[in-house]
Chains A and B, each alone.
Chain A
Amino acid sequence: MAKMIKLVSGDGAEFEVEEEVAFQSKIIKDIVADADDVIPLPTVSSKVLIQVIEYCRKHAAVNSFPLSPSSSAAAAASSSSSISYSKPVSDPALRAWDNEFVKLNNSSLFDIVIAANYLDIEELVDLVLETVADRIKGKQAQEIRRQFNIENDFTPEEEEALRRENSWAFQNN
């Protein structure tokens, strides 16, 4: 019988999950090591906790098997060429599941990544932040502001100076 851990969301709902699922969160793993099976998570709402548990359940099965040498080499090779620290998910079926999982609006994504950051679930943080990056790709500043409701706090002079400063990078001004 798998050991169960009880998670309590900010609004008081209780969720019982298998230990290996809960241990996707490094924070929970540390707390349970202090001999504690009921973990209150006051900053995480039920709605978000349900989604996070769903992710952890799916990935617990995969993470229980150590990375094979070939996939870890592939992960190392792709991460050395850029500064991003994410390790790519090598299983295509899991990647497809992940892509479905992140089909949420921006606000929900931010809720999830804040919770995942708090709980220290590295892969979920990477997944959501990469999704956010995909929503920024190819867009001009004005579009990005509109999509994420960001106020433009540059004065026209500052904006012009910034464009000029960066113009070296563009072949055609």
Chain B
Amino acid sequence: MAKRTRMELAAVTLAPASYSPSVSSSTIHSLDDGCLTHVFSFLMPIPDRYSIALVCHRWRYLACHPRLWLRVERSTKNTSEPGVFPNLQDAISAARPGDTILISPCRDHIACNIQIKKPLCLIGGGELPDDTVLTCSRGSESALEFLSTCKITNLTIRTELGYCLLHRSGRLTIEGCILQCEENPLDYLSFPIISTATVPNAFRQSLKEHGNDSITVAQTRIEGGAKAVFTSGNLALQRVRAIYTRSCIFFWFEVGEQEL
């Protein structure tokens, strides 16, 4: 707020007789965007920020605003800013369930055996998924290991030997990504997606308690690897669609309970 000079304040001073306080009708709409965003920053993403996003258009705009996202930025000059982290592992450790992490468009992010045990959304910050690359180096089993419902979008995940995504449980949504593996791997060593999740062979009720372990892939390029998906549990690949372009193939498919 700018410094107010005496002259400016004097100009707006009202004579007591004409003062008409509207204070008794202050509503939450009287708060400016900065104040409302500040209120939302106190709330846990799950379930509260999703509840407030449903209240009205203005709240939805502010609750889903990137200002509330965590950011991963490789350059060190931003590390003193709250909510900005130099690497993905740190951001994931600090994130609360339901948070969104924006990963800056940069080709040398590292992701080695990063376990994700809480619902998170990872978004690549570039225009194309090619702009944001997470690389998993030789010694690691996988880039990202999911033990919770998550969503990743607009990212490239590249692994030198091993899995791009290791899915243990939860509903994983992969949208608009690129998964790259070794071109000619030894068969058991390199898969873009591997799922060890198992659907219990029990009544429907217990299934609901468990949640649905599944993977949904949309508009994603998968390159290299012995095959796109390997499941060591009893989930099955289904509803596969592919679109071939001049340079690459886009896939849509689901990995879930075998539909009879």
Contacts and interface: CB of A to CB of B under 8 A. Distances in A.
A92 interface: no
A152 B151 contact: no
Given A27-B4, A40-B10, A42-B19, A169 B42 contact: no
B144 to A, nearest CB: 16
Contacts of B4: 27, 30-31
Contacts of B55: 141, 144-145, 150, 152
Given A45-B21, A79-B82, A83-B83, A30 B3 contact: yes
Nearest to B6: A36
A85 B56 contact: no
Contacts of B94: 80-82
B145 to A, nearest CB: 17
A100 B176 CA distance: 50
A92 B109 CA distance: 43
A135 to B, nearest CB: 9
Given A27-B4, A130-B42, A113 B31 contact: yes
Interface string A127-152: 00110111011111100110011111
Contacts of A134: 42
Interface string B144-163: 00001111000000000000
Interface stretch (A16-24, A55-63, A160-168): A160-168
Interface core residue of A79, A118, A148, A151 (most chain B CB under 10 Å): A148
Contact of A133 (B42, B45, B170, B208): B42
B149 A110 contact: no
Given A40-B10, A111-B26, A136 B31 contact: no
Chain A to chain B: the 4 pairs with minimum beta-carbon distance, closest first: A12-B16, A133-B42, A171-B211, A141-B54
Interface of A: 8, 10-12, 27, 30-31, 34, 36, 39-40, 42, 45, 47-48, 79-86, 106-108, 110-111, 113-114, 117-118, 120, 125-126, 129-130, 132-134, 136-141, 144-145, 148-154, 159, 162-163, 166, 168-173
